[in-house]
Amino acid sequence: MLRRGAWALVALPLLTSAAPLATLELDFTKLRSTRGLLQICIAPAASQFPDCRDGHGAIKRTIPAADGMLRLSGLAPGDYAVAVIHDANGNGKLDTFMGIPREGFGFSRNPVIGFGPPRFSAAQFPLQGGSDRQEVKLRYLL
């Protein structure tokens, strides 16, 4: 019985030193309409941004545009970047006209947009244990 108690005292610091999981709340603003879907990519690395294609550890979610927000719990602390597409017609892709997006898009930290998506570093934010909120403003070019 004493051995079990001693083992618990040794194990306690190991359990309490584990990195706390984080919660991320994403608010999507400036939506042109509430029709369609929001295609969301939460990337922990530049190689997975902005489309979550090479995604070990990347998170893809699709929510109704009418929801306007997403809350994720249980994320490991670290650096992340978010990309979102307002798929207004629900066809599962970003529609373009001559290379210009016809549907809305946005990124965490709302970086300046040039030709193509921003770099991971421009949209990157730290997520520590606890809770964080990012506002992603959607942009429409056409």
Query: pLDDT per residue over 34-64, tens digit each?
Result: 999 999 999 999 999 999 987 788 999 999 9
Q: In what order do the strands lie in the sheet with 69-75?
A: 69-75, 22-29, 130-137
What is the residue-wise DSSP string for 38-55?
EEEEEESSGGGTTT-TT-
Q: pLDDT averaged over the chain?
A: 89
**Angstrom distance (rounded) from CA 59 to CA 83:** 11
Residue 15: per-residue pLDDT: 47
**Angstrom distance (rounded) from CA 113 to CA 96:** 16
Residue 129: per-residue pLDDT: 85
Tracing tokens 């650096």 back to the chain, one arrives at 79
Residue 20 has pLDDT above 90, yes or no: no
**Angstrom distance (rounded) from CA 95 to CA 12:** 53
Contact assessment for residue 39 and residue 62, using Cβ atoms and an 8 Å cutoff: yes
